[in-house]
């Protein structure tokens, strides 16, 4: 079964350091779980690193059985079989049962470039086929916010890609929770989150139904759980490219009201006019009405909306910044439709896969050069 976990990494800084390129590949494919303190060799003496560098990639035209590799790497066959099974699941490595004795493992296609091409095609096919479930669960209308602002920053892309298989009759969870688990939305070790009514599944279901971005406060109030835990779950959703975190511009009037009342109490009318953006962005009628209400302590959110109705939303955003206010952030699906979310995920995936293609070519060249030397 094809099963892959990809984590976006910056391209290596060197093009001929074999160890550095192999380490980049291992990190991108999440082949080794990071545990404890970093070692001086950065994991280059580990069994997976040596297995790839010295055998499967280093001698691509040879097949290897587990016993032979265990002897070469001074590993127990059972331990090595675990690493080989993970490599087979990624699609980079194949095996054959031809002949007698142990399975023979080999680099798919005879080169890393060919193996990565196989992974590239299979990964994209999984996204194409398995996103059909999102269509059946989608209930958002896709109505945009009053002002659409882009994400302040992208989360590091990390996604799981697993072949479809039937649900087990006696297993936990439902179709959606297993779909989420396969795409990495439940984390590396889902545990109780695989349940159909887990916090992760309920949060994702809410995002599939809701047009307005979901703040941490709202999420915690709706579904329970500590805000810190809810934030970790939503950030994990962001990492897959399916969810984005954007400014809650639907709360712009509330944020402006808070900033105006706070700064008026602290700094007074003169500061509001000269430093707070009133003279720069508002006409005299708007300035007078707002300051008069502030002076009486009677300004309401509805007053702010009424007096600023003729001010463009982007100028309202500038006014908020000049007043020292800020908008809360919220989470929502990263597209107005399931198809748009799929394109977003595919774009992020393609970027990682292009880097893999680049590194595969560099590794093939570097390893060929080292053999010829």
**Residue 7: C-alpha distances to residues 48, 200, 241, 348 (Å):** 17, 20, 12, 11
Max Cα distance, the chain (Å): 92
SS3 76: coil
- Tokens 């600023």, residue? 308
Measured over the CA atoms of residue 69, residue 45, residue 349 and residue 144, the dihedral's sign is positive
pTM for this one?
Answer: 0.87
What's the pLDDT score for residue 35? 53
Residue 330, strand partner residues: 246
Q: Residue 332: which H helix or E strand, with range? A: strand 329-333
What's the pLDDT score for residue 38? 47
What's the pLDDT score for residue 150? 78
Domains of the chain as residue ranges with CATH: 3-128+353-372 (1.10.10.10), 139-247 (no CATH), 251-322 (no CATH)
Token pair listed for 276: 């707070």
User: Tens place of pLDDT for every residue, the chain, 373 residues?
Assistant: 999 999 999 999 888 899 999 999 999 999 997 655 445 555 677 899 999 999 999 999 999 888 888 888 888 888 888 899 999 999 999 998 876 667 899 999 999 999 999 999 999 999 999 999 999 999 999 889 888 887 767 789 999 999 999 998 878 889 999 999 999 999 988 999 999 999 999 999 999 999 999 999 999 999 988 999 999 999 999 999 999 999 999 999 999 999 999 999 999 999 999 999 999 999 999 999 999 999 999 999 999 999 999 998 889 999 999 999 988 899 999 999 999 999 999 999 999 999 999 999 999 999 988 765 5
What's the pLDDT score for residue 234? 97
- Tokens 């934030």, residue? 231
């Amino acid at each position: 079964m094809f099963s892959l976990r990809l984590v976006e990494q910056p391209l290596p800084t060197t093009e001929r350091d074999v160890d550095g390129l192999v380490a980049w590949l291992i990190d991108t494919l999440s082949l080794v779980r990071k545990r404890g303190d970093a070692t001086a060799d950065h994991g280059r003496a580990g069994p997976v690193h040596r297995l790839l560098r010295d055998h499967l990639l280093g001698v691509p035209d040879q097949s290897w059985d587990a016993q032979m590799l265990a002897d070469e790497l001074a590993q127990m066959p059972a331990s090595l079989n675990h690493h080989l099974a993970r490599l087979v699941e990624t699609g980079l490595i194949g095996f054959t049962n031809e002949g007698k004795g142990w399975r023979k493992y080999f680099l798919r296609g005879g080169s890393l470039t060919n193996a990565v091409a196989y992974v590239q095609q299979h990964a994209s096919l999984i996204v194409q086929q398995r996103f059909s479930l999102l269509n059946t669960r989608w209930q958002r209308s896709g109505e945009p916010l009053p002002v659409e602002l882009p994400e302040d920053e992208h989360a590091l892309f990390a996604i799981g890609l697993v072949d479809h298989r039937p649900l087990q009759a006696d297993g936990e969870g439902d179709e959606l929770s297993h779909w989420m688990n396969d795409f990495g939305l439940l984390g590396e070790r889902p545990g109780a989150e695989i349940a159909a009514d887990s916090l992760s599944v309920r949060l994702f279901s809410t995002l599939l139904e809701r047009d307005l971005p979901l703040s941490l406060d709202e999420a915690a109030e709706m579904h329970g759980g500590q805000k810190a835990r809810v934030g970790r779950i939503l950030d994990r959703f962001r990492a897959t490219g399916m969810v984005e975190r954007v400014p809650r511009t639907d709360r712009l009037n509330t944020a402006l009201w808070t900033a105006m009342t706070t700064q008026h109490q602290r700094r007074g009318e003169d500061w509001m006019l000269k430093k707070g953006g009133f003279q720069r962005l508002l006409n005299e009628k708007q300035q007078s009405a707002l300051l008069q209400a502030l002076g009486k302590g009677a300004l309401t959110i509805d007053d702010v909306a009424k007096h600023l109705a003729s001010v463009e939303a982007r100028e309202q955003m500038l006014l908020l910044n000049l007043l020292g206010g800020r908008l809360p952030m919220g989470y929502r699906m990263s597209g107005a439709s399931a198809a748009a979310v799929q394109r977003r995920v595919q774009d992020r995936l393609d970027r990682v896969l292009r880097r893999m293609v680049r590194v595969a070519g560099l590794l093939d060249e570097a390893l060929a050069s080292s053999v010829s030397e």
